[in-house]
């Protein structure tokens, strides 16, 4: 058997194993993206192993528990019955046929891409690579990361001389396959089933694309192949930049509408009646989540290498980043109109998750707002049904305990930052002395103690 025949066999064997649901799938990073993905593969009877450096998560999953609100423990327990397991031992990657990387890609203190999670993960994978494996990166990043960062790290870190398959077909049996497929998670979205979200895939060569398309086609109803990993990487950035720029636009218009004495929410509702050429976006207290506040900066950073300034992206970032400051200013103004100063005022922040009905604090504007209020001397408390405690994170250190929402009457101001469905807003308005609403949560409620900003 020739070397090229062996290589072709490795490709064909993996295709066959995926098609027959016999491929072993390893998912690295068991957070808001990786764990749901692992469970989808388990539902389709793949043998799935989840890898994570957080031993607490590993122990929770292996005992049948869950640390993500929208994933009940029963789902983990069913998956465990189907041989799903979690581990912090990366040597088990050798046994995987496909390895999917779902690790964070944050910004550093200078708002530049921090790829340390990707590089460290690639270094952990490399010693355990074997010929014929498929490695897929899902972490959102700038165009070129897969080919310029992931692949070289995987190639240089293994001692067997393995190389990523390039070109039309592999030219030897010592190859592994590489692709990029951006995650498209939308926590809290109950209207679109996870399987119905089309999956974009871009392989380093056509064989990698075929394998990735087949792998994701087993759990998603539609797969969208593109010509390269860089195109897939850029696709994800375009999706999030589109939202970032439009949210910035409507945030700016909200500030103008406030000065003009207009209700921006009424304006948006009226504009939404147009059956073509308009998609509604809504203002808020700032951007949150792992994608929209971060991803645009990945492209603007990369653009500098091409001597290109992404002015729309940077302006949108400035507008959205300024919204927490606007909120604090409005709280101060509302208190002043009641003859009170912000300093020493008791402020209750309602909702700290970055959007309604989820247990996700990543980049939440509520955290910035709390810090700004504290800096101005306010005595700040919070309530959120999803967070009994706020400790220390990558960019914050608050150490606060949730207080009962029934205590709203004890505060000088109740600030609605996240409009969770659990809140009875009519009752809150009735019992609070002042309500500052950043989410239009009190729409339809008429009271002199409401300030909408």
Active site residues: 291
Beta bridge partners of 346: 379
Distance CA 414, CA 353 (A): 16
Distance CA 310, CA 312 (A): 6
For the chain, the C-alpha Rg in angstroms (whole number) is 24
Residue among 247, 360, 312, 303 nearest 112 (CA): 303
Backbone angles phi, psi at 61, to 5 degrees: -65, -45
CB 297 within 8 A of CB 317: yes
End-to-end Cα separation, the chain, in angstroms: 72
CB 159 within 8 A of CB 172: no
* Residue 184, token pair as written in the block: 């498209």
CA torsion, ordered 122, 127, 128, 132, to nearest 10 deg? 80
Q: What's the full length of the chain, in residues? A: 453
Cβ neighbour number for residue 191 with a 10 Å cutoff: 6
What is the strand order of the sheet 346-350 is part of? 379-383, 346-350, 413-416, 435-437, 450-452
């Amino acid at each position: 058997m020739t070397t090229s025949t062996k290589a072709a066999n490795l490709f064909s064997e993996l295709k066959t194993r995926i098609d027959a649901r016999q491929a072993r799938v390893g998912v690295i990073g068991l957070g808001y993206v990786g764990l749901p993905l692992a469970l989808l593969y388990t539902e389709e009877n793949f043998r799935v192993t989840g890898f994570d450096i957080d031993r607490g998560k590993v122990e929770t999953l292996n005992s049948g528990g869950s640390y993500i609100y929208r994933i009940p423990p029963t789902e983990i327990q069913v998956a465990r019955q189907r041989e799903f397991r979690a581990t912090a031992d990366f040597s088990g990657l050798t046994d995987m046929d496909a390895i999917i990387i779902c690790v964070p890609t944050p910004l550093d203190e200078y708002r530049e891409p921090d790829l340390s999670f990707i590089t460290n993960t690639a270094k952990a994978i490399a010693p355990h690579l074997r010929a014929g494996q498929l490695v897929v990166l899902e972490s959102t990043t700038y165009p070129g990361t897969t080919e310029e960062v992931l692949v070289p790290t995987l190639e240089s870190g293994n001692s067997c001389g393995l190389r990523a398959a390039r070109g039309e077909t592999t030219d030897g049996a010592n190859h592994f396959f590489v692709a990029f497929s951006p995650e498209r998670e939308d926590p809290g979205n109950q209207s679109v089933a996870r399987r119905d979200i089309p999956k974009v895939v871009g392989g380093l060569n056509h064989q990698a694309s075929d394998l990735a398309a087949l792998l994701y086609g087993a759990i998603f109803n539609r797969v969208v192949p593109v010509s390269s990993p860089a195109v897939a990487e850029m696709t994800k950035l375009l999706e999030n930049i589109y939202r970032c720029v439009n949210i910035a636009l409507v945030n700016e218009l909200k500030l103008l509408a406030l000065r003009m004495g207009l209700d921006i929410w009424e304006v948006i509702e009226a504009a939404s009646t147009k059956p073509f050429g308009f998609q509604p976006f809504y203002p808020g207290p700032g951007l949150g989540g792992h994608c929209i506040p971060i991803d645009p900066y990945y492209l603007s950073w990369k653009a500098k290498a091409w001597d290109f300034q992404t002015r729309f992206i940077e302006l949108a970032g400035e507008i959205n980043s300024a919204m927490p400051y606007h909120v604090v200013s409005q709280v101060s103004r509302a208190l002043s109109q009641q003859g009170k100063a912000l300093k020493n005022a008791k402020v209750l922040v309602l909702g700290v998750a970055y959007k309604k009905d989820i247990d996700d604090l990543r980049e939440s504007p509520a955290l910035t707002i709390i810090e700004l209020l504290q800096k101005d001397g306010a005595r700040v408390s919070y309530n959120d049904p999803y967070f009994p405690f706020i400790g220390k994170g990558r960019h914050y250190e608050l150490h606060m305990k949730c207080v009962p929402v029934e205590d709203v009457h004890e505060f000088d101001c109740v600030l609605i930052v996240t409009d969770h469905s659990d809140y009875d807003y009519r009752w809150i308005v009735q019992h609070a002395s002042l309500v500052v609403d950043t989410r239009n949560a009190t729409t339809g409620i008429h009271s002199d103690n409401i300030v909408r900003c």
